[in-house]
Amino acid sequence: MDKNPVANLDSVKQFNLARLFKIIVEYGLISRTQLVDVSNMAAGSVTKLSRLLIDQGLVHEVAHMASERGRKAVLLAPKSDDIQILAARADRQYLYVGLCDLSGNLLHRISVPLNARSEADFVAQITQTLTQFLTDHVDQIRHIIGVGVTMPGLVDAENGVVNFMPHVPVNQLPLRQLLQDALGLPCYLNSFSSAMALAEKQIGASFHAKNSLFVEIHNGVGSGLIINDELHSGAGVGEIGHIQVDPLGKHCVCGNFGCLETVVSDGAITLNYAYRAGETGNTTLTIKDVVSRAIALEPTAIAVLKDAAAHLGSAIAMVVNVLRPDSIILAGEITQAWAIIEPVIQQQLKTKSLQIQGLNNVAVVRSDLYDSPWYSGYALVRQALLSGELLPNLLVPDQTETN
């Protein structure tokens, strides 16, 4: 046990400072009186710590509002423009890089074809791209607090290791350490689906949900899970795409048969449509074509999407019966046909998950963040900052003393 009272005091102060900063960021605008109520801290402590955040340039006073007694209370807001996050997402075809402020506003972005076919090539390309991005935009960079990187596959976020990627062979790739060494910045990794679940919780559709499930339908089916306001992730967590929905179904890349992604992934839907529509020789057919035809009320396309939605809804119902999330956020090209697939998914939930009077219904919504590829990496760094992990990096030591 540490008996150093100064060390303990500094630790407590840093913890409370992080708590206040997190509240101010999440509220956007808040008075000191409201901070006292929300944080359950003494008014004197809130006054001193908020002044410290102002002195450090992390928070500023921006407006006034009339209180019930007619007096004006000063509002505090984060200085989001001065804190920046570098975010990168690698998918099967492209590498996306974006520079965001703390509020998630995109300041600059690029996308380049991902040509890597080996572990070494992947590390070289992502390192070179991020380094070049920093060089090209040096005039716009103020204070980058960290780098967030996401990709499909299995990621050990705690140790910063990529265990599996569907498009690049890797072997326990320590990508976080390699990027930190190359860029000189704290780096955070996770799978794209898990990170997007976190982004939806921070600034998206599940902001007010304590428990939520993010499901992404693309080349496979991935998911991310928020439990008690915290991201629950790890290698093998959230693999909803490998729930078996057809014991006699097709062989899956995981080695099993009839997994959800063998019938719901973009490729599976496109192949199913091509077979039913008599277009098996059409090599240019894509999921976008199928969705467009369904929206145009083509019966075959509608039937194919409804079949996929039924399988998806059945798998989601299994998750609902185990975890009962407050909300489910769906993302992917097929959600463009929301009016077609949403009623089918709702019907599956109604008939295959527990329905008891007084039990809250699970909200099923469409993601508004999915088409913004930088949000996944942004969310990882933002979480590290608001948890207090990165906050000490922003503090100037000779200004952290309070009376």
Average pLDDT on 336-358 reads: 92
Neighbours of 184 (CB within 10 A): 9
Calpha distance 312→176 (Å, rounded)? 33
Cβ neighbours of residue 399 closer than 8 Å, sequence gap 6 or more = 52, 55, 56
pLDDT of 72:
65
Domains 82-197+374-386 and 205-366 share a fold: yes
**In this predicted model, what pLDDT tens digit does every residue of 138-149 receive, in sequence order?**
988 989 999 999
DSSP 8-state symbol, 398: G
Alpha-carbon torsion 208, 213, 218, 222, what sign? positive
pLDDT of 402:
47
Calpha distance 167→44 (Å, rounded)? 55
Q: Report the candidate in 293, 247, 253, 296 with the shortest Cα–Cα distance to residue 269.
A: 293
* Residue 202 pLDDT > 90: yes
Query: Is it true that domain 5-78 has CATH number 1.10.10.10?
Result: yes
* Residue 399 pLDDT > 80: no
Query: Is it true that domain 205-366 has CATH number 3.30.420.40?
Result: yes
Q: Report the candidate in 87, 78, 45 with the shortest Cα–Cα distance to residue 60.
A: 78
Q: What are phi and psi of 215, to 5 degrees?
A: -125, 125
Pick the CATH number of 82-197+374-386 from 2.20.25.10, 3.20.20.70, 2.50.20.10, 3.30.420.40: 3.30.420.40
Q: Specify the pairing of strand 187-191 against strand 144-151.
A: parallel
Calpha distance 210→198 (Å, rounded)? 12
pLDDT of 2:
46
Label residue 397 by pLDDT band (50, 70, 90): low
